[in-house]
Amino acid sequence: MEEGSVPENRMNENRLNVSLPGRAAYSSSKTALLSLTRALALELAAQGITVNAISPGPFATEMNTPLLQNPELNQQFVSRIPVGRWGRVEEIGRLALYLCSEDSGFVTGTDILIDVGWPAQ
C-alpha cells in the first residue's frame, strides 16, 4: 500500500447498529469489516495512512429496488426515515471525498454512520 493512501470500507446499509431476522451472515460480515478497519488503522498509522469505514443507512440503491418500486411500502418506509426521504448516494460520495482529503488526517479507525439517526429510533 502506498504511503499516504486512504483505504476506505464502505459498508452497504448500516447493519452494524441495526439488524434484521434472517440476516445473521450479512450482519456479522459487517461487524468483521469494522474490526478489520480498526486493525488496519493501527497497523498503517505510522505510514500516515488512515483507514475508516462508512456505514450508510436507508439509501435509494439497487439493494432497495423492490421497496422503491412498491409505492405503498415505499411510502410506509419513508415515513419512518427521520428526514422523510431516502439518502442519495452522492451524500456518501461527499463523505468519502472528505475522508480521502488531508482535512481528515486525524480521523482513523472509525466507522462513520451516514444514516439520518436510523438506529436512534
Query: Could you give the domains of the chain?
Result: 8-120 (3.40.50.720)
Candidates 24, 26, 66, 80; catalytic one:
26
Q: What is the pLDDT of residues 56-77, one digit of tens each?
A: 999 999 989 999 999 999 999 9
C-alpha cell at 92: 456518501
Predicted TM-score of the model (pTM): 0.77
- Mean pLDDT across the chain: 86
Q: How far is it, in rounded angstroms, from Cα 121 to Cα 117? A: 7
Torsions phi, psi for 93 (to 5 deg): -60, -40
Give the residue from 33, 98, 89 showing the smallest Cα distance to 57. 89
Any catalytic annotation for residue 98? no
